[in-house]
Structure 1
Amino acid sequence: MKPLTNQAFKNASVFTPTGFAVVENEKGEYAAINDHGKIVLDFSSSNIDLNVINGLTFYKKAVEYEKKMPAWKWEWNILGGDIKKEQTYHKIEIGVVETQQVLLDKDIPYLEDNYSLNFISVDENHVFWNESLYEIKNNRLNQIDKNIVQLLENKRFIKASNEGFSMYELNQKKAIHKEMKGPETLSIQFGKETMLLQEVNKERYDPEVPKLLTDYKTNDVYAFPQYEKVFPKEITKATASQIDFIKKVSLVYSITHSPYFLLGVFNYDHDVWAYDWLYIDTEGNVTDSIGPYNFKVLDQIGNVVWPDRKMILPDQFINKNWKFGKINSYEGMNDSYLIRIEDQKQLRTIGLWNSITKAWEIKPEYHDVSVLDAEKQIYALQKEKDGLYILYNHKNKKQIGSKAYQSINSDGLVSVKLDPAKNMYYYIDIESGKEYKEH
């Protein structure tokens, strides 16, 4: 608790692992300082965000302003006669704090602002950002490839062109698969019958990369999410009922790190309103079930679709009066799932269930369970609606500290109510519960 600098700030963030923090002065201006208190990004009206990837600190500076537009871009209000001669713009700058390298400096319309600090580590010497691949040398980024629309596992990526989609591997100039297309249909042979699946992986909005890709030379079909193995052209083993099911299939995903593909048929029964599943391997063998794999299918807002509730929490472990809500699981949680339940009294609770041990790790007795650190198994638990949150270490099954808060964020920012109209905010260490505030 010793001051790093005599300078005081109106607000300040926690330091990044690389030793930088965002501060605000009394004028409402923002800057970035290092862990000696020295300013490394000067004060300005631009908001500053920081993100650390591969040991480098990336920053984003953004400020909103009104820009005067040429006459042909004025917006006319035909009812009121008003003319809007200005348009809201964002001035965006993104770069590397350590070297002051600027990667992007643009003025763009507010509605087109889609630049963020979503840098992804490919390996220790490469990062992916803004549809480009960069090599890191001397803490500077050098662009080595572009027009990349999807990053895959094992240092592979997909590039888009007018000819279609091509798959590459890092440091390989020749494409693994070239000029792949998104097929409108998927055909599969069973004996003498050719089944044509016409409604596979259809979505409300077309994804940037189709969920199925066909190699034009071989007609091999590769499936989302990793496009790593060929979908079988022929079914070699299946029952009559399985064939009937496959004719209605609307979802085909590749289950990564396995020989299987996931086949889904949506059940529109309002009591069910979920998918039914079968599986097919690369040899064309169809099966009703497979062993456990650390693979999850999420819907567009992040809820778990597969494995479904009955696979995760079988009926023999539930109260017959329970109804179920959305299921969530985050990276690092492995076989643990947050499951929402409504009982016969319409009381809604949430608990943490382990699908391997078939046991509640956190009983469904809480109004809210918030994941603060999945790998370290630190959670925030709220017993009742509008109640306070406590810190909980699931590894040792103990509460962290003795305090309770109105809210707890994963970075340690907490709030406590001083009076009905005012909250106080400060930081804590979520691993120990230690509070960092002036007394």
Structure 2
Amino acid sequence: MKTTIKILFTFFIGLTLLASCSKNEYETGGAVSTVIYMSYVKALHNGDDVVLVKEKLMGATQIAGVVISDRASGNFNTNEIVVQNTARGKVSGIIFKFNDNNTQINYGDSVKIDIENCVLYRENGAMKIKGTNLNFAKVTKVASNKEVKPRTVSLTQLYSEFYNYENTLVEIANVAFPELVGGETYAGDVRMGDVSNVFVYLSTMANANFAQKSLPLLASFRGIPTYYNANSSYYNTAKLLLKMRNEGDAFNETGAAYANFPEDFELVPASEKASYLMPAINDMVTFKTGNWRIYQGIISDVVNVDKFNPSGKQAIRMKDQLSEDALLEMNFDLLSGASKVTFSYGVPSVGSITASTFNLEYSQDEGATWTKVGESVTNPARDAQEAVFNVDVSGKVRFRIRKLGLGANTSTVFNGLLNIDDFKVFQNVN
């Protein structure tokens, strides 16, 4: 008898636990919540349209989340918003397609949307919710200016796990556009990344307020991944798109390199500037990019001593142990600003390895005044290294390298020789 009672007790406890597991997670105090979590709704779609009735939503009639699309940018349809929700540790997002245009719901709004009797479906591959009575009157704004932190992914990870990131906010660092030929704008679909078997496209609508802005050569991006299939609603054969919310979703931008850069200092022979000081030519030499001043420096072509690129034979060598600064200075302006400057630097392979310190500086008044970029660089290595400076300068600009005149070498002062090569300037894209 005791055994039978124990079995019955265990059976009823199991039924109770099973019932509790099937409840809507928003259920409190024994009452079923009107709000259902988004990942549950998304999982209802198995290829066919789904009518969202209470029986399929555990008694709920609403979805809650935060709007991650920006209606002000013009990069989203005026009758659609993208809403993201996190529940049970799972981030999900869905596009809501309304019968009227959005004039009040903004990025960062926390909302509840009535979805009873609406339809969950895929349109051109993208997962959406629509309804014959779904208009913006069905949206309740709970709060504004809610911050949504993007999930950081690599482009390869986004490509391979696109379904899991669909309609949610992501961030991708240092994306290049390998198919650019120059002069392209954001408008349209542009393939991202330089991995041959990864196909994700940055997608910008023609009427977006940043559509005609120049596309950067390299940048980091935030955006919303979504599918697009021009021929059907199947997502597994659709094009993979990343849609920026607004212009601010592109950052750390690098424009195309200026014509004739990188400057390799190869156009004229080393004999044209063979002494550290040559007042007769005012220390000026004209290379392929323009006229440069090389003060307390030479064009050097000593094999196995100076640092130069594999196909070249010359570099600029700047004097050591000076109490005045040595300069490698552009004597001409670039007219489209700058977003990045790169160059090679190293210690010549002669004598002992002695470090030196230098700055990158720019001028926008034809060299009358100069502004330092970033931090000073101390070079302790013999092997050539690459310096990378991100800048944001609009309008005409010129650059120089200023090797600091720290005086003679001592146990505490390091002022050795310095080689510079392959100087490259990238245009500003703003």
TM over 0.5: no
Which structure has more relative contact order (CA 8 Å, sep 6+)? It is 2
| Structure whose CA Rg is larger | 2
TM-score by length of structure 1 reads 0.24
Which one has the bigger strand percentage?
1
**Structure showing the higher helix proportion among its residues:** 2
- TM-score normalized with structure 2 length: 0.24
